[in-house]
Structure 1
Amino acid sequence: MWKVGILTASDKGARGEREDLSAQVIREMVQDIGGQVVEYVVVPDEYSLISEHLTRLVDELGLDLILTTGGTGLGPRDVTPEATRSVIDREVPGLAEAMRAITMKKTPRAMLSRSLAGTRGQSLIINLPGSPKGVRECLEAVIDVLPHALEILRGGGDHQ
């Protein structure tokens, strides 16, 4: 079983003005790879809060996989990739590239996504869009490789 955390970056969500449908999609989809959501947090689109919670999810809770939703666009308050970059040790560009490549076949607007993926210690952090449709399409693009990536991060798996 993989311990999964969901971090939603949304001003309206943090104020209770919007139901977080994207997190529900994540919750459902990670079950297919043996993932169990053990931590869920909604924060406003604030760089310091996002980076603080990402650090806590990895360093204090030791989660295997953290999936963020929201804050990956071009809006002035979309800072999730920058906050993520500030806490990761290494980027994993292929994941974000694959998500954009697959979703661009459905909409050219996908090229505007600034999603990022990277590792911190033995944890994998992936930024997803804020819409349920975008979350589903992006996760579908990479979900099959996530167990292998998580095994490698734990020091196992065949990565030759």
Structure 2
Amino acid sequence: MEIKIGILTVSDRASQGIYDDISGKAIIDTLNDYLKSEWESIYKIVPDEQNIIEETLKEMADERGCCLIVTTGGTGPAKRDVTPEATEAVCDKMMPGFGELMRQVSLQYVPTAILSRQTAGIRNQTLIINLPGKPKSIRECLDAVFPAVPYCIDLLEGPYIETNEDVIKAFRPKK
């Protein structure tokens, strides 16, 4: 089964080409480090508009067949930060442990991590994870939660994801 992973950057300015999307590239670089399995990225940049974010998440999950979608941006308290609302609107189940762990890890570095509203959820057979917008925070958060991601995707009957154990070890319960 082919592994397709959605990378979605939510940013008004990056979507207008005002600045380069370093956050989306940081996710791709991190996943390239983590994954031993061959994978294809389905990559998009959209503005901070809830309906556009929702439609893009649905397209990546339902039409493009992504087993995992990782978003960056739009998780703060500002008025235009609506990525968690869009994620919740398209998911069947929320996975609050992801956000709890990511905030706990980020709080070791910055006190403002408490302002982050990143979350995760499941739409059909797709795990969606919201990450913060800063590349350094992206790696810190993914390092914390990614060991659980391959097993979550197993439970959703998605493709078997193998990690590069020299970089990150996926946790799967002993059979």
Structure 1, 117-126 or 21-30: larger mean CA deviation: 21-30
Normalised to the residue count of structure 2, the TM-score between the two structures is 0.85
Tell me the distance in 2 between the aligned counterparts of 1:107 and 1:47.
27
Question: What SS does the aligned partner of 1:45 have?
Answer: coil
1:15 aligns with 2:16: yes
User: Match for 1:41 among 20, 31, 44?
Assistant: 44
Identify if the C-alpha distance between structure 1 residues 149 and 159 changes in structure 2 by more than 3 Å, giving closer, same or farther.
farther
Question: What SS does the aligned partner of 1:142 have?
Answer: helix
Q: CA deviation at 1:158?
A: 5.2
Deviating beyond 6 angstroms after TM superposition, the runs of 4 or more aligned structure 1 residues are none
Aligned residue in 2 for 1:116: 119
Q: Percent sequence identity over matched residues?
A: 45
Aligned residue in 1 for 2:148: 145
Aligned residue in 2 for 1:98: 101
Q: CA deviation at 1:7?
A: 0.7
1:66 aligns with 2:66: no
Amino acid at match of 2:7: I
Q: Deviations over 1:36-60 (max 9, x none)?
A: 3421110000000000000000110
Q: Deviations over 1:120-139 (max 9, x none)?
A: 01100000011111111111
Q: Does structure 2 conserve the Cα–Cα contact (< 8 Å) formed by 1:4 and 1:35?
A: no
Question: What SS does the aligned partner of 1:119 have?
Answer: strand
User: Match for 2:92 among 75, 89, 93?
Assistant: 89
Structure 1, 140-149 or 51-60: larger mean CA deviation: 140-149
User: Match for 2:57 among 47, 54, 71?
Assistant: 54
Amino acid at match of 1:108: P
Could you tell me which runs of 5 or more consecutive residues in structure 1 were left unpaired when the two chains were aligned.
none
Question: What SS does the aligned partner of 2:140 have?
Answer: helix
Q: CA deviation at 1:159?
A: 9.0
Q: CA deviation at 1:82?
A: 0.4
* Cα RMSD for the two superposed structures: 1.8
Q: CA deviation at 1:108?
A: 1.3
Aligned residue in 1 for 2:3: 2
Tell me the distance in 2 between the aligned counterparts of 1:9 and 1:37.
20
